[in-house]
Structure 1
């Protein structure tokens, strides 16, 4: 089994089951930043599958920084004629002479530990990188650009069912806030480019997303849990796991992004989550070991009194309200169990080195 082929087959089945949203993309050129990241790579594969199924003649430009990661993530897909890999850094001007019709800006620092160890770089990537993409969108007169933001912009809030205009508190003097405050300011920059320069930008705020496409060495908490199951080891929690949030499958996330790109209103933000998946981290870990008894894994608490060094967020209870994106015709299809099943399968295949073909 090959990881890329397995993911493409899942996406093709998914695309065949949804309403046809994609005619507006026919003959278009789409630039995706952060293309080898989890969400960016799923977008490349999603659009490649849509292209093949509907013969839309879409040109996909994947912006990447590392050739070896391109090979690892895309395999033979990188040789598809409709996919062009270009190398560069969003902190620099992106040189592309031909027309670009759409931009999906997903590049970001995403590791929690980096937020506390490299807060300056985290902020700089959010602001300077996003401005470079907005400038490119302005110069190319794109039809639409979407900025991929995060549920973390809501901070600490008492609103469990939180809508796009409801915000909590962020301690901006805490370097861990480099990510959430950077995202907030990048969103403001997007709206400012729309107001001042009429750049047709939309914002999507994703909840934590996983499923197909997660690599074995991913160090986010959901991947750590999955590795425990795969390796028949205990799942260790360094907090009491009280944070509650909803989650989203990576394929559902890709479809949500395309939906907002094409149907969303300029200068506005949209939440994307599967509201039915809301669960605490501790209960998610416990449910996982119960669903995979063959692993003999157990949930073990080793509460760290100095959790700041790990980059963990303060305890929050937040379920993104998705009424606004639902009105555009989007609804999620995958459950939390589906997310873990697909992620564990992906991680097993990538562990064997079968993602490269």
Structure 2
């Protein structure tokens, strides 16, 4: 393999192990497993899921739904509020497969009722504390209006409620992640008491990875877990050996006096997602790549300290500085694998 530019390396066996871990957890807790494919957006990784018996998936856009539909996936939830400007494509997809949509207002529900040409499932988006979008979970009056509008529709099959506790990604401890998760369970229980017969679907990777209580939950839709990343590692959601991706970055310059290595691998490859680790800006961890481009341990004294468009600036320990040279490859473990996977979709290698 002659890697010439930043390349997204996927470890197949680690992916399979992560898929089996989450699939087994869903079975143990008797919840439906509908993994989110926005993390990988990759036909090959999709086939790994299929090999494990997964048939229902989640995506984050109409275009992504169309992509995976064309690969043979026929039961898809678009876990993003309906973009009514894409109604023609939504109708095309709904005519061919089982499609679930997401809405959070009576106006959109009525628009769907009037414009859907085939039946579609619907989840009502609930804000469980993330404060991104959705009806706030305690606004029962508003939720009731959307439920009624959905049930009155001849083209909509109301499935239930969709919650994404994305604020687990900002948690400061495993304890805080589990506290947020249990808040979601309580919200789910309240919704199920108020609206019997409707299901509740949740989907954050930290909560789904760490929790062993899924009371009141009918479905889980995590996505990041298939790869994991440095964010999940520092959150405590995974061990380093579960991280299934690395970005192979060519070294272009070594600056011993600054203890820095410059790589071809910047914001357009890794994203500008950043962590604060030991009071330093942290854009990715560093590893050495083997002959097959697999990677070993995390280099504790090395990390990506800065990115511009094409440049990655690595703070490097003396051992790396003394051995690395232009033309070598360094593996960068991204802070957020979902973004790096999207940026490098056309330059991906599975090993």
TM-score after normalising by structure 2: 0.38
Rg comparison, structure with higher value: 2
